[in-house]
Each structure stands twice: as structure tokens, then as C-alpha cells.
Amino acid sequence: MARAPLVELPTHRVSNQPPPLLDYDVFEGDAALREAVSREGAEWAMPKLQRLGQAAGSARYVEAGFLANEHLPRLRTFDRYGQRIDEVQFHPAYHELMGLGMEYRLPSLPWAEPRAGAHVTHAAMVYLLGQAESGVLCPLVMTYAAVPALRHQPDVAEQWLPRLLDGVYDARCIPATEKGGVTIGMAMTEKQGGSDVRANETRATAIDAGGPGQAYRLRGHKWFCSAPMCDAFLTLAHTGDAARRELSCFLVPRWCPDGTRNRFFIQRLKDKLGNKANASSEIEYDDTWAVMVGPEGRGVRTIIEMVHHTRLDAAVAPVALMRQALTQAIHHTRHRRAFGRVLSEQPLMKAVLADLALEVEAGVAMVMRVARSFDEAEHDPDAARLSRLATAFTKYWTNKRAAGHVYEALECLGGAGYVEESMMPRLYREAPLNSIWEGSGNVICLDVLRAIQRDPECLQVLFEQLRPACEAEPRVADLVADAGSLLSDRDNLELRARQLCQNLALAFQASLLMAHAPPVVAEAFIAARISGAGARAYGALPPGVDVDLLIERAAPVVPG
């Protein structure tokens, strides 16, 4: 979009400022994404992704992202007549972004159109929409991930899935039976336990006979309930006697079957570091109606598939943040001059931009390959094993890379990047979120160890994926061998679990770039991420890296 003519200022002339980055094509300007979507089985979805990419970079949705973060969600505990309603009000821009995600069937496409590449398409949509605004991803992703959990209870799934799969966004707080589309949330953690859900104390009491598909009353609290305006929530509560403390999974709707409001009490909204457009809350259950989903006492096993799918998106979302930060940095430096030269043409800035682009390229390759394993897991046990292991270490690694990456991109804008108008502070505040959501770094590393211990074949499946790269590149082979040594040192395995996850992620990224990216990209990654000793700052690239190619593959496509 061309810059509008400016009014002449009385004290100075505005110059050497970049034009607004609006109406650019998020999809077409991302060579790594286009190539990954094609090779991972989602070529058929290219037209849909192209349209979403154009929307995500449009002036309309860029502005919606800013407005949704400027006008924050507001809790209305009571209506004007004194009736308790427990509703959260959002700015229309938030609903507009939610509508965009639902229009493109981000939560439902893999289930409504179960074909090769469907989960890859979903992951690509998370990546594209996340560059406009990440705050809406939480309810959209939880809705997507709820499907496999709900299918554990066919009678409940029969009632809810048709409205979940039809792709209509309906923000009204009314009974689900009166809506054309619904969203599903999750409420698991409690104050005393956090990630240790087995410490939960919420109790469930059967109304009649009890058991799967039967109605219960819940009493307790949940310390984190994101997107509390979803139509229903999957939650955990204890059944049985106090000695057994068996956790079961329940679906808690906002409205009861008789059309009355459920006793779902929002105590307050969280005042968070970031993710401001999305409401996160503390809730209480007090004689709250719920229906059991899955076998009694097997709640963690029932809900774990939901967690597995949300972890995929928690791995993709930080790559979207890095991609948007990189886009902003490239755009700014291509239009800003300092010391007589355009910033993007100066060697030091080139090194930084190229290194940031390299991180995004490797991240895209990994998350899209992991998404393909979700497509294949239905009919291929080895793909299911790869999905189980790789989702965990991918979530760990992309999130550990995100905060430093966004900070470095912010610095490329100088002081302009430190003010809210630039979008960079929003990205920076968002960067830690997905590392905490669905298991912080340590929890995820322990989960990697648990996956390997319970099913050692998942490690063998991964090593088979890495074998061609190990045979072709000694530096990758050494990294994988070091991972094997870490696993054999059982006395220090937990102590070194982060190193193990890092090794597996870097080897996986290197193998994918060696197989699919231009050779200069793969070599740059191995030289910058695997060779040499210890960590280095972004921009401290080894000699010989083709920085111009790396930047060009990541340059945003803007109208002429």
C-alpha cells in the first residue's frame, strides 16, 4: 500500500522512514512454507492457503490485530439487573479475527476432510493466522484438539461434533443447541498442582448411576481456563473414594441441557505478560453440570490426545512469531538508511537478517514435517511413534528459540521497535507463552524421556529418519551419537534431558534441510547450529554463508 501524502510539518520534513507494511502476501513471500506445504502432502490446499496468506497480511486484519490488543477483554460478572452471567466482552476486532479462522476451518478441516495433508494444512493456517494475531489461536486450537478426546465418548461426540465441524463462528452466549457453530476449551490446572494434574482436587459426584456419558456435578476450581467464552470445556475431576483419587474427564458446557446457565463461575481474568487479546481466567465449579467423557478413572488418558494436538500448535505458533518478527525486520531495514547506506545492504545487518531467516526456515521445515506425521499416524504405527516423540522435542526447541529471535529482530528496528506502534513489543511479550502452555520446558523434556522409556521404538523410528543425513554428514552423525550417549548415561539422564532434546531437534532440522532446502541453506544451518563450540548470538555466522540467498527466500512480497 502506497503511503498517503503527508502534511508538511512546521519544524522538519519526515524522511528515511519505511512505508507501512500493509496488504502484503504472507504466504507468497515465504519460500520455506510454500515448499514445505507442497512436499508434506498439502499441495491441494495451496489456493486456500494463498487466500489466507493475503488476508493475514491485509490492512484490515493487521489493524484488527492492533485493535484486539488495544481494547482488552472485559469480564461482566453480572448484568444490569443483577443476574450473574459470567460473560467476557471482546472488541469486534477479536471476533473478526476469530471469524477469519473459522471461515478457513482452521479448527475443523482435518476432521471434516480427513485426507493426506489435512493436518499439514491446519498447521500452515495456524502459522499464517498467527502472524496477524496470536490471541485467537488459543480457542481455535483447543477446538481442533478437542475432537479426538470427544470421540472417546460417541454419544457426546454425536451431540457436539456436527456443530464443531461446520466452521461457523457464533460468538453469542446462548445454548449450543441454538448455535450453528461451537468452540471447545480446556480447564485442567489448579493452584496446588499446575502441570501436575494428579494433584487436582476438583470432585465429581454422579447425579444418577454415573459412568461414561452420564451426568455429574462438579465442585472445585481451575487456576487457568483460557478462552472462557467457549461453549464447553474439557476438564478433569476426581471420582471414586478419597483413597483412590481417580481422575476422570468431563465436558462442561456453559449452558445446561434444560437451557439454564451452568454454574460456571469466572472469578477473574488473568493480567498476563502477553496474549492480551485472548482472555484467560480463573473459574470455580460449584454444583456445575458436566458429562463424563471416556472411561471412569482414565481422565488423563482420555484428554492426552487433546494435549498432543495442542502441543503441535504450540510448536507451530512460535515459528509464526519468529516469521512475523523477521518480516518486520527485513521490511524496516530495506527502507531505512544509516551512515550513508541502506541498513539491509550493510554486512553486519545482512548477517543478522540471514541468521534470523535461517532459524525460521529450519523451524518451518520441522513443524510441517511433524504435522505430516499426524496425517500418517492414523494408518502407520511408525508415524504415530514419530509424532509422539517429535511433537514434544519440537515444541521444546521452537519455543526456546523464539524469545531470543524476536528480541534480535526487534533490535533491527532500533528504538522504533521498542514502541507499541511497531508490533514488535506484542510479538516479544507473546514469545514465552507457548513454552509454558501445554507443558513448560522441563515438563516437555521429561515427557520426551517418558516416551522413549515407554516405547523405545519411537527413538528407532526417529533415528531411521536421521540415518541418510548421518551417512552424508559427519557433523550430524556426531550430534546423533552424542544423543545416544546421553541416553545411555541413566544416572544423569534427567539432568541432561535438555541437551538431549536440543540434539534431537537440531539433528532433525539438519536432516530436513539437507533433504529439501537449497544446499547452501543446509550447509549454513549445520555450520551455524551444529559445528563449533557453544552458543553464539544471532548474526555471528561462520564464513562462507550465502546471506543474500537466505534473506531473499524470506523477503515479504509487497505490492509494487
User: What's the mean pLDDT in 236-243?
Assistant: 78
Give the integer Cα–Cα distance in Å for 443 and 548. 39
User: Which of 143, 316, 148 has the alpha carbon at shortest distance from 227?
Assistant: 143
DSSP 221-286: EEEEEESTTSSEEEEEEEES-TTT-EEEEEEEESB-TTSSBP-EEEEEE---SS-TTS-EEEEEEE
pLDDT band at 2 (very low <50, low <70, confident <90, very high): very low
pLDDT at residue 171 is higher than 80:
yes
* Cell numbers for 119: 493436518
**Size of the chain in residues:** 560
**Structure confidence at residue 542 as a pLDDT band (50, 70, 90):** confident
In 3D space, the residue among 366, 369, 389 whose CA is nearest the CA of residue 457 turns out to be 389
Q: What is the average pLDDT across 486-504?
A: 94
Q: How far apart are CA 411 and CA 417, in angstroms?
A: 7
Element (H, E) at 289: strand 280-293
Render pLDDT for 289-337 as a digit per residue (tens, 0 to 9).
999 999 999 989 998 889 999 999 999 999 999 999 999 999 999 999 9
Mean pLDDT of 428-445: 94
Asked whether 322 and 402 are in contact (CB, 8 A), the reply is: yes
Task: Please report, rounded to a whole number, the percentage of residues in the chain having pLDDT higher than 70.
Answer: 97
On whether the CB atoms of residues 540 and 354 are closer than 8 A, the answer is: no
pLDDT per residue as tens digits for the range 36-64 = 999 999 999 999 999 999 999 999 999 99
Task: Give the per-residue pLDDT at 66.
Answer: 97
Quick one: which of 29, 19, 36 has its CA closest to 56? 29
User: What per-residue confidence (pLDDT) applies to 194?
Assistant: 78
Percent of the chain exceeding pLDDT 90 equals 87
pTM over 0.85, yes/no: yes
Take residue 316 and report the three cell numbers written for it.
507451530
Residue 243, judged by CB atoms within 10 A of its CB (0-12, 13-18, 19+), counts as: exposed
Report whether 294 contacts 301 (CB < 8 A).
yes
> Does pLDDT of 6 surpass 80?
no
**Per-residue confidence (pLDDT) for residue 421, from 0 to 100:** 92
* Tens of pLDDT, residues 244-272: 668 999 999 999 999 999 999 999 999 99
Decide: helix, strand or coil at residue 319: helix
Residue 379 CB partners (closer than 8 Å, separation 6+):
none
Residue 3: which pLDDT band, with cuts at 50, 70 and 90? low
Q: What is the CA radius of gyration of the chain?
A: 24
Confidence class for position 1, pLDDT limits 50, 70, 90: very low
550 has a pLDDT exceeding 80:
yes
Strands 337-338 and 84-89, by their bridges, are unpaired
pLDDT tens track for 343-356:
999 999 999 999 99
Query: Which residues on neighbouring strands pair with residue 87, listed in sequence order?
Result: 76
CA-to-CA distance for 335 and 521, rounded, in angstroms? Answer: 25
Q: Which residue is associated with the grid cell 493480567?
A: 271
Hey, what amino acid is at 361?
E
* Model confidence at 242: pLDDT above 60: no
Q: Residue 346's pLDDT is what?
A: 96
Q: Which amino acid is at 434?
A: N
Buried b (16+ CB within 10 A) or exposed e, 204-218: beeeeebebeebbbb
531-537: average pLDDT? 67
Nearest to 321 by CA among 424, 197, 421, 234: 424
Predicted confidence band at 413 (pLDDT cuts at 50, 70, 90)?
very high
Overall average pLDDT of the 74-100 stretch: 97
Domains and CATH numbers, the chain: 148-154+176-299 (2.40.110.20), 300-560 (1.20.140.10)
Of 383, 371, 410, 416, whose CA–CA distance to 121 is shortest? 371
Mean per-residue pLDDT, 70-75: 97
